[in-house]
Chains A and B, each alone.
Chain A
Amino acid sequence: MSILDWFLDPAQWAGADSIPVQVGYHLLYSGTALLVALAIAVPLGVYIGYTGRGELLVAGAANALRALPTFGLLVLVVMLVAPLVGSRLAFVGPTIVVLVLLAVPPILSGTVAGIQGADPGAVGAARATGYTRPQILWHVQVPCALPLFLSGIRNATLQIVSTATVAAYVSLKGLGRYIIDGRASSDYTQMAAGAVLVAVVALVLELAFLGLGRAVVSPGLTRNPLPTCRRTRTVRPDLVPPSTPRKAAS
């Protein structure tokens, strides 16, 4: 059976273990982990970028977390937690924790770098003209941080989605099922199909982030020459004062 046949088999598209259900679980675990990671990394990143405190901590922690072996950590956490918790939570919890640990470093460093990388001239001008510090943060630093911030989330998401396959190893659902089960029964078609599905999900998310970036990041920052400016139509022509004689713009 070829991969194409496998995908065309109606049995894969209906029932409790169908492709849509597995994709759904995969996204559920990934989404939960991403939300938790955002809840931790964004406030922390904004605080560190804003105050300049704890930058060394970010660098150190980020590198340390990146070096963690995800798979080994998952097994370890499950072994520690399983005796204490009876339900399925014994497997879901550790899976999420591991994915969160994976996602925090890129989001954190993206946020910190974005906030701190805001054009110092713009920040200085805002301060000198009477913006309060929270106003500088909200009106200048955060919008300027968006490109780096989004790229941090994008990295985190892709890492989560590709790593969430480990959930299957601890008996949970998700696209990892095809890979683990296929391996167990030497069904390499199924394994390959699982890998293809993960790749497709990652690709779709990548495109979604591209769209999100265009929607929320100012063209002034992306320097995108395409006329995507959302504000173009909002200055009404009748508000433009009549032309006055002026020198050629320099």
Chain B
Amino acid sequence: MITFEHVSKVYPDGTHAVHDLTFDAPSGRLTVLVGPSGCGKTTSMRMINRLIDPTDGVVSLDGQDTRSVDAIELRRKIGYVIQSAGLFPHRTVVDNVAALPRLLGVGKQQARSRAMELLAKVGLDERFALRYPYQLSGGQQQRVGVARALATDPPFLLMDEPFSAVDPVVRTQLQDSFLQLQRDIGKTIVMVTHDIDEALKLGDQVAVFREGGTLAQVATPSGLLAHPADPFVADFVGASRGYRALGFVEATAPVELADEATVRVGSRPGDAGAVDDGWCVAVDDAHAPLGWVDLRAAGEVVEERHIDFSGTVARADGSLRDLLDAALSSPTGRGLVAGPDGRLRGSVVAAEVLRHVGHGREAEVSS
């Protein structure tokens, strides 16, 4: 656990970068520090590994005051991922990851084989291992940055806007694969971002900072959306928070799914059997839904160009937001739902989801 107790940072010119900060970053959880620029979130994170020393208060790791430990020793226990990856340009990818273990005396072969494992873990193909950083895309570099931060298997991890220098598509990929990784490794992580969507998506706990380096609120993402402490937090969390909050609500009772007729690409429309309104679901060989097909518009044979891909597919165990989005984005108003195995389970209509929203709210209030 990383603990801040009345921590302040005042610069000689009198600027308060951080003011009387007190909060915990619980072990094995991801705590996101979020706020507008100049709110002291990065300064706060950098006080954890003493890149910046606080002027007042105590930062401790698992109860140990960081000032009682040598700064170099301290930093070696804490992985660090920076925004632009900051890879060593003169080393290959695998040697970037192996660099710190090598520095600490681990044998070359051992450090490299561990580095190869880590590269696989962060989702980087092993054919990239012998390339140099300049030969990688921004997203790939950032994966290497994460692998490097984990090279010595530190219990703590600090991440400074790790996914902000890449395009939105790659960012989503990186976030998803990082979430999956964190489920596996369970590090105590403090991450800084200015992107509230990223904070809500990744954080187990979100600390919202306001200008002047004070803490506005620390809460879980759903807590932040449901109960913002003040107008600043409410404003920062942003519009459509009612809809976003659904992302953290799961159906308390089984959601009623309707069966749908299915058809495969290459088959004849008649194969789908009786279809009420002409729409049926195109599925692939594994029975995973691809999209909707209007059989009235399809000719003799259903081809890929007949499929309407506009609807999203929700997972049966997904949040109400996913289910509602599937229903709202579907050309038929019926959202496609797939099981954890990817197979089509059926469809759901918005009204059915909204019925569960009411139950979800009641459950939350009563709990």
Give the B-binding residues of A (Cβ under 8 A): 119, 121-122, 124-132, 135, 139-140, 143-144, 146, 218-221, 223, 229, 231-232, 235-236, 239-241, 243-244, 246-247, 249-250
B residues near A131, Cβ cutoff 8 Å: 72, 100, 103
| Complex CA distance for A218 and B95, rounded to whole angstroms | 12
- A220–B75 touching, CB < 8 Å: no
- B170–A122 touching, CB < 8 Å: no
- B49–A128 touching, CB < 8 Å: yes
- B89–A239 touching, CB < 8 Å: no
Say if the beta carbon of B37 comes within 8 Å of chain A: no
- B123–A249 touching, CB < 8 Å: yes
- B100–A129 touching, CB < 8 Å: yes
A and B contact pairs by CB, cutoff 8 A, 12 listed: A124-B86, A129-B78, A129-B79, A130-B74, A130-B100, A132-B72, A139-B103, A220-B89, A221-B90, A232-B130, A247-B173, A247-B177
Min C-beta distance of A8 to chain B, whole Å: 48
Question: Given contacts A122-B89, A229-B92, A250-B137, is CB(A129)–CB(B76) below 8 Å?
Answer: yes
- A235–B91 touching, CB < 8 Å: no
| Complex CA distance for A129 and B73, rounded to whole angstroms | 9
Of A128, A132, A239, A241, the contact of B51 (CB 8 Å cutoff): A128
Question: Given contacts A232-B130, A235-B130, is CB(A130)–CB(B76) below 8 Å?
Answer: yes
In this complex, how many residues of chain B approach chain A with their Cβ under 8 Å: the count is 54
B residues near A236, Cβ cutoff 8 Å: 109
B residues near A125, Cβ cutoff 8 Å: 80, 82, 86-88, 145, 148
Identify which of A129, A229, A243 gathers the most chain B CB atoms within 10 Å of its CB. Answer: A129
| Complex CA distance for A139 and B88, rounded to whole angstroms | 9
- B94–A235 touching, CB < 8 Å: yes
Within 8 A of A (CB), among B11-33: none
Min C-beta distance of B283 to chain A, whole Å: 22
Min C-beta distance of A156 to chain B, whole Å: 23
- B80–A129 touching, CB < 8 Å: yes
Of A127, A223, A241, the contact of B117 (CB 8 Å cutoff): A241
Bits for B115-135, please: 1 = Cβ < 8 Å to A, else 0.
011001001111011101110
Min C-beta distance of B342 to chain A, whole Å: 14
Say if the beta carbon of B264 comes within 8 Å of chain A: no
A residues near B174, Cβ cutoff 8 Å: 250
B residues near A221, Cβ cutoff 8 Å: 89-90
| Complex CA distance for A128 and B170, rounded to whole angstroms | 25
Say if the beta carbon of B9 comes within 8 Å of chain A: no
| Complex CA distance for A129 and B125, rounded to whole angstroms | 25
A residues near B82, Cβ cutoff 8 Å: 121, 124-125, 128
**Further contacts, 15 of them, CB under 8 A, given A119-B89, A220-B90:** A122-B88, A128-B51, A130-B74, A130-B76, A131-B100, A218-B89, A220-B89, A221-B89, A235-B94, A235-B129, A240-B126, A241-B116, A243-B126, A246-B120, A250-B143
| Complex CA distance for A143 and B98, rounded to whole angstroms | 17
Question: Given contacts A130-B100, A249-B125, A250-B170, is CB(A218)–CB(B75) below 8 Å?
Answer: no
Min C-beta distance of A85 to chain B, whole Å: 46
A residues near B177, Cβ cutoff 8 Å: 247
| Complex CA distance for A218 and B89, rounded to whole angstroms | 8
B residues near A144, Cβ cutoff 8 Å: 88-90
B residues near A130, Cβ cutoff 8 Å: 72-76, 100
B residues near A240, Cβ cutoff 8 Å: 113, 116, 126, 129
B residues near A249, Cβ cutoff 8 Å: 123-125, 128, 139-140, 143
| Complex CA distance for A139 and B98, rounded to whole angstroms | 13
Of B79, B120, B130, the contact of A244 (CB 8 Å cutoff): B120
Min C-beta distance of B83 to chain A, whole Å: 8
Identify which of B86, B87, B103, B170 gathers the most chain A CB atoms within 10 Å of its CB. Answer: B86
- B75–A128 touching, CB < 8 Å: yes
- B128–A121 touching, CB < 8 Å: no
- A231–B130 touching, CB < 8 Å: yes
| Complex CA distance for A32 and B129, rounded to whole angstroms | 43
- A246–B129 touching, CB < 8 Å: no
Min C-beta distance of A235 to chain B, whole Å: 6
A residues near B123, Cβ cutoff 8 Å: 246-247, 249-250
Say if the beta carbon of B84 comes within 8 Å of chain A: yes
| Complex CA distance for A139 and B109, rounded to whole angstroms | 19
- A239–B140 touching, CB < 8 Å: no
A residues near B117, Cβ cutoff 8 Å: 241
| Complex CA distance for A144 and B86, rounded to whole angstroms | 13
Min C-beta distance of B334 to chain A, whole Å: 29
Question: Given contacts A236-B109, A239-B109, A241-B120, is CB(A220)–CB(B73) below 8 Å?
Answer: no
B residues near A223, Cβ cutoff 8 Å: 132, 134
- A246–B125 touching, CB < 8 Å: yes
Ranked 9 nearest A-B pairs via Cβ: A220-B132, A121-B86, A125-B86, A130-B75, A218-B90, A130-B76, A250-B139, A128-B80, A239-B113
Within 8 A of A (CB), among B63-78: 72-76, 78
- B113–A241 touching, CB < 8 Å: yes
Min C-beta distance of A119 to chain B, whole Å: 6
Query: Which A-chain residue is minimally distant from B121 (CB atoms)?
Result: A244
Query: Which A-chain residue is minimally distant from B180 (CB atoms)?
Result: A247
B residues near A127, Cβ cutoff 8 Å: 51, 75
Say if the beta carbon of B99 comes within 8 Å of chain A: yes
- A121–B140 touching, CB < 8 Å: no
A residues near B109, Cβ cutoff 8 Å: 236, 239
B residues near A218, Cβ cutoff 8 Å: 89-91, 132
